[in-house]
Amino acid sequence: MLRALICLSALAAPISALAFTGAQLTKLCAQTDVASRNACKGYVQGAADGVYNTIDAIGGTTGPRVGQYFCLPPKTTPQSLVDAIRKYVAEDPRAGDYNASTVVSLGLGKAYPCKGRD
């Protein structure tokens, strides 16, 4: 029985992670407590890294490539990433319905477009 519960928990965790929406990310990032602010920054940085690494795996991130969503300047801070995401969601009310990682990709793409992209 315990083994079944552990397996069920392992299957449920990825499903709940996929359900994290732009609205939930925005709510988290609007909190003022240290834990929430750090969780917001951590999520945004992790999603940005995930997108970057995925693009790198399918074609590289040195310079603009097909499918590259954003190009971050070298000294970009975690807070500037969060600010870009919050601005994107404020300007596009539909973004609250998107998956949170999609919001990160699109928000950073709007704030930090790659130069020379077609």
Q: What percent of the chain has pLDDT over 90?
A: 49
> Which residue has better confidence, 108 or 66?
108
Mean pLDDT of 41-63: 77
- pLDDT, tens digit, 9 for 90 and up, residues 60-86: 555 544 556 788 888 999 999 999 999
3-state helix, strand, coil in the chain (%, to 5): 70, 0, 30
| pTM as predicted | 0.73
Check if the beta carbon of residue 87 is closer than 8 Å to that of residue 24: no
What mean pLDDT comes out for the span 25-54?
Answer: 91
Of the options 1.10.890, 1.25.40, 1.10.3470, 1.10.155, the CATH number for the domain spanning 20-111: 1.10.890
